[in-house]
Amino acid sequence: MTAKRRPVVCENTFAEYREIDAVNWSTLRAATRSALAYRYACSEPVTDTDAMRLGRATHTAVFEPDRLLQEYVIWEGGRRAGKEWDAFREMHPTRTVLKPDDYDRAIDIRDAVRGHKAAAKLLRTGTPECTLTWTDAETGVACKSRLDWLGPRGRLVDLKTTRDIESRAFGRHGAAMLYHCQFAFAAMGLRANGVKNPTVRIIAVEQEPPHDVAVYRLSDDVLWAGEVKVRAALALVAECRHTGKWPGRYPDERAFDLPGWEYPEDDTNTLGDVGDWMVMSS
């Protein structure tokens, strides 16, 4: 019997998405470090910060510009305390408060992205803020992913702000941030939802003016490298759920080693030579 295709859900809010009981990349990435780190990431409450609010506002400005003033409001009163602040929050109980400079930056980034030829082409057709849910076939772990933008034929588009869009610098940054794993995870979700050959594009935009923009295409090799790590992380989560044990990265004794540059190049030195040098230099 052919498995029933599960639909891509595109209309739920972020709050509704957070209530879905499933593994997402934000927590699964911790499992690439250890089971202990994953369990902590799942249990630790998320503290909303100005940087996080700016990030969400930037995404809304780029992908859903008509919703920006529906979901965000600007506070120009300085310190967020006192009678004026309380009255302001009562007037806007459901909207996220931004600083004026943060709002201006979100608008500037929106204009930079929308004014970039390759980026604007990607955003002509598609749906913003799509939610995927699926069950990983190998481990039975329920998964979810929130996509910035889902274009035709399963083309995933994601916005990343960065200090430098230069290809080598952004590649190093992306590797450190595990972008290849994040998008491999999302691609797995798209395939589980019936998309045969999902593709990924990153719109990278510099945080500081003039907000230069680049569009990067992720190759199959890049996504494969990410999927290897994702599958290892999912297998670790499944195993620890089964055993009830969540070990750290190194549960057993390990040998201590030094980086290569700390070893003398001349192997003729003896311990006595080193001792003589220490006495002479003291």
Query: Crossing angle, helix 100-114 and helix 50-63, to 10 degrees?
Result: 40
Give 77-103 pLDDT, tens digit per residue.
888 889 999 999 999 999 999 999 999
Confidence of residue 275 (pLDDT cuts 50, 70, 90): low
pLDDT of res. 15: 83
Q: How many residues does the chain have?
A: 282
pLDDT of res. 47: 80
Give the mean pLDDT of 134-157.
Answer: 96
Q: Report all structural domains of the chain as residue ranges with CATH numbers, in order of start.
A: 14-243 (3.90.320.10)
Q: Give Cα 268 distance to the centre of its chain.
A: 50
| Token pair belonging to 191 | 């395939």
Is the pLDDT at 268 greater than 70, yes or no? no
Confidence of residue 1 (pLDDT cuts 50, 70, 90): very low
Residue 4 three-state SS: coil
**Residue 3 DSSP code:** P
β-pairing verdict for 142-151 and 213-217: unpaired
pTM for this model (two decimals): 0.87
| Token pair belonging to 182 | 């994040």
